[in-house]
Amino acid sequence: MPLVTSTEMFKSVYGKCAVGAFNVNNMEIIQGIVEAAKEEQAPLILQVSAGARKYAKHVYLMKLVEAAVEDTGLPICLHLDHGEDFEVCKSCIDGGFTSVMIDGSKLPFAENIAVTKKVVEYAHSKGVVVEAELGRLAGVEDDVNVSAKDSSYTVPEQAAEFVQKTGCDSLAIAIGTSHGAYKFKGDAKLDFERLQTIASLLPGFPLVLHGASTVLPEFVTKCNQYGGEIKGAQGVPEEMLRQAGTMGICKINIDTDLRLAMTASVREYLALNPADFDPRQYLKPAREAIKNMVKHKIKDVLNCSNMLID
């Protein structure tokens, strides 16, 4: 089975649940995610950031994802997360990705439209789908670093105009989430009224939620217990993500929770087994931690178990 686009996935889940888009950087992360999705028979998007491409190289990530498809038989969408310009998006399209994100959110509205439309025209000519972004999320993730003062919520009327003028296939919107492990100061809050308005102006159109890790407390606690210094971390409550999945959010991005699950497991293993130095010994439980966390997300947060499309 070849890699697939996200188009049919989004059609099948719209208004009911969301597809998980999990960031990948190495073999163990990919294995843990796909094993969870296979057991849950869930649609799956594996996404690669600019940082991941620098760390592991495009060709290695491609071969690992191809191996995951061959091993599991899952219809997997391979997505570029936060492509910064046309050239990066083109490189991934030409290199086998089935979906790319062009992130022109830092640009003025008209320039964002122009670069997004350019990527859409090229991608569609190659059978690849495009996610765009309007509005800016605060926080840090790999090469994306936006201060709170530079962040901005998505304007609903602009979203409708943007989709109409660019022809993009999905749109990442800003309603209060942020990148990284420190998403809120005080109570967590998402602007569901804004989401409802955007969805009403774009009926049936797939919307995307970035910065949507829950920052699960058990992993933060374990990291800190075994020498970490992750103080005051706070993510998006799971009930808010479940609600968003019924309101037009079709894709929910998860990265920080993967990092925390893996790091907490590695820290614990090395602390309890100081004589071990074989990476397989501590990466095996780390892979299992990722698998269990992703299964939880699929079943209890995304609600997309048994939603595979033939």
Q: Kindly list the catalytic residues.
A: 81
Half-sphere exposure (CA, 13 Å, Cβ side) for 234? 9
175's tokens: 């309603």
For residues 99 and 4, is the Cβ–Cβ distance under 8 A?
no
Half-sphere exposure (CA, 13 Å, Cβ side) for 123? 32
Q: Which residues pair with 179 in a beta bridge?
A: 139
The CB density around residue 230, as the number of other CB atoms within 10 Å, is: 17
Sole residue written with tokens 């919520």: 153
CA dist., res. 181 & res. 179, Å (int): 7
Find the helix or strand (DSSP H, E) in which 20 lies.
strand 19-23
Sole residue written with tokens 């991608």: 123
**Strand ranges inside 63-220, DSSP E:** 76-83, 99-102, 129-134, 139-141, 144-146, 170-173, 207-209
